[in-house]
Structure 1
Amino acid sequence: MITFFDLASVNGNSLKTWSPNPWKTRYVLNYKKLSYKTVYLEYPELEPELKKLGIPPSTNPADGTALYTSPSIVDEANKKQITDSYKIAEYLDKAYPDTPQVIPKGTEALQAALYDHLDQLIMPYWPLLLPILPPRCMNPPSAEYFTRTRSAWFGKPLADLEPQGEARTEAWKKVEASFDTINGWLSKSSGPYLMGETVTFSDFVLGGFIQSIKLCFGEESEEWKKVQVWNGGRWKAYLASLEPYAAVEK
C-alpha cells in the first residue's frame, strides 16, 4: 500500500484536493491503477509528520533551507519515502515497471525539459493564485501558516502580492500568453497530449495547473469561464480527457 500525503482543504470543498502539485501525483497514481490511501495534512503538520516517517525535505525556494512539502509518498511494500512530484513519478515508473510509464523510456530528457519549461510558463499565475488560497481553500491552521510564511518569503503581506485593476488585467494576459505557447506545442502534436496519443507526466503537470484554476477560483468564477474557452475551448476538453485519472476518494 502507498500512502499519499496531500494538503487538507477547507471544509465544504467536495473534491477535497486543490493544490496543483499534489494533483500531479494523484493523476500518476490513478493512471497506474496503484493501490493507495490519502492522508490530508494541514501545512503546520507537514514537517513533524513527514519527518517522523523519514520522508526527506525538499528545498525552500526562498532561502535554500529544508522544506517539508506535499506531495510526498511512503511506499510500504518497498520501504521507500519520496517527496517531490517529479521524483515520485520517476520512482513509481521504476518500482512498478508493469504499470503505464509516465516518463516513457527515451523521453526522460524531454520530460525534464518540459517540466522546467512548464514551470517557467506558469510563473505569471502565482501572484494571482497565492493570495486567494488561505480564504478560499484552507482551514484556519493552514491559512495562518501559509499567510505568515509566504509573507516572509516575499517580504510583504501576502494580500499585497495580488495585482489589482489594470495590473490584474495584464497579469491574466500573461497567463493567457502562456496557454497560447502550450497550445502551439499541442497543435503540432499527433494526438491530444504533449507526447501525441499517450498521456505522460507533463500532461499531469499541465492538468494540475488547470485543476487549480477551476477549483481555487471556482467553477462559476469569471476566471475559470475565461480560461476554459481560450484556444478554442482546448483547456476544458483537456481537463475532461484527464478525468479518468482524477478520482479522489471520499
Structure 2
Amino acid sequence: MPRYALNIKGLPYKTEWLSFTGVEPKMKELGLAAQGGPLLYTIPTIYDPNNDKIVTESFAIAKYLDQAYPDTPRLVMPGAAGFQEAYLEKVVSPLLNMIIPSIAMPVFEECCIDDADRAYVRDTREKWFGRKFEDMEWKREAMTAASEAFKVALDAIAVHVATNGPGAVFVTGDAPSHIDAAVASILLCVLKMLGKEHAFARVILEHSWAKKYLGTMSRWE
C-alpha cells in the first residue's frame, strides 16, 4: 500500500526488501517498540530522511505523508479519516480475509527465501491462523461459495463508486485515496500470487468495475 501512496504523491523513495526473519531485527534497529497482537513487528514501515521520521502501518503512513507533504495529492482528505478507517474495517478487511486462505500457501512457498524463513513463517502464521497452511485453501464447494462472496463484495464496492457519478472509478471521489491503495493492493495480490486462472482472479478479471479499476490504478503500482 505505501508503494501506491508514494507513487500517487510522486515522492521519490528507495525500497529495502526484508526476509520474514529480518523484519524484527530491522524494526529494532530503527528503534521501534513491539506492537500488540500475534506479530510483534510488522511492515510496511517507512523512514523519511527529510524529517528523520519513522512511521509504520499503512494508514498511519498515508496520514503522515499528507501532513508532511501537503502540496502533493492527498490520500486522506481533511475530515475523512474516520470514514476511511471505518471503510477499511467494514469493507476492506473482510475482502482481505476472504483471500487469506488461498494466498497463505503461495506466500509461504514463493516469498520465504530460506529454511529459517520457512520455519519462522510456519511457526508464527500457523499459530495466528490456528491451522496449517495445507489445511487453509478453500475446498471445492467452499471455494465456489468464497468466490461468489468475493464477487458480491466487489459488487458492493462498485455500487459505492457509482455514487461518485457517471464514469467514476475511485472509491472516494475523483482521485485515488488510501482506500483505493488498500483495495487495489488486495486485487493485485490475488492476480500476482494466485495467477489469472484462480477462481478469485477470474472474478476480478470478469468484473467490469474491478478490471477497469486495476487498469487505472496500474499507473501507480
User: Which TM-score applies when normalising by structure 1?
Assistant: 0.80
> What corresponds to 1:168 in structure 2?
143
Q: Which one-letter code corresponds to 2:171 in the other structure?
A: L
- Is 1:88 the counterpart of 2:61? The answer is yes
CA deviations on 1:150-190 (whole Å, 9 max, x unpaired) are 11223321221222121222222222221122122112222
Number of residue equivalences: 217
1:221 CA drift (Å): 4.5
Counterparts of 2:178 and 2:216 in 1: how far apart (Å)? 14
Say what the alpha-carbon RMSD is for the aligned residues: 1.8
Moved over 6 A (4+): none
Q: Which one-letter code corresponds to 2:48 in the other structure?
A: D
Q: Which runs of 5+ in 1 are unaligned?
A: 1-23
Counterparts of 1:46 and 1:81 in 2: how far apart (Å)? 14
Bigger shift: 126-135 or 140-149? 140-149
> What corresponds to 1:134 in structure 2?
108
Cα contact 1:57–1:69 (8 A) shared by 2:
no
> What corresponds to 2:93 in structure 1?
119
> What corresponds to 2:24 in structure 1?
47
CA deviations on 1:169-219 (whole Å, 9 max, x unpaired) are 222222222112212211222221112212111111111011101110124
Name whichever structure is richer in strand by fraction. Answer: 1
Q: Which runs of 5+ in 2 are unaligned?
A: none
For the residue of structure 2 that corresponds to 1:147, the secondary structure is: helix
Counterparts of 1:142 and 1:180 in 2: how far apart (Å)? 37
For the residue of structure 1 that corresponds to 2:15, the secondary structure is: strand
Alignment of 1:143-154 (within 5 A): 143-154=118-129
- Aligned-residue sequence identity (percent) comes to 29
- Is 1:110 the counterpart of 2:87? The answer is no
Counterparts of 1:172 and 1:58 in 2: how far apart (Å)? 33
Cα contact 2:169–2:212 (8 A) shared by 1:
no
1:38 CA drift (Å): 0.3
For residues 240 and 142 of structure 1, do their structure 2 counterparts lie closer, same or farther at Cα, with a shift above 3 Å needed?
farther
CA deviations on 1:84-120 (whole Å, 9 max, x unpaired) are 0000001111011111111011322222221212213
User: Which TM-score applies when normalising by structure 2?
Assistant: 0.90
For residues 168 and 219 of structure 1, do their structure 2 counterparts lie closer, same or farther at Cα, with a shift above 3 Å needed?
closer
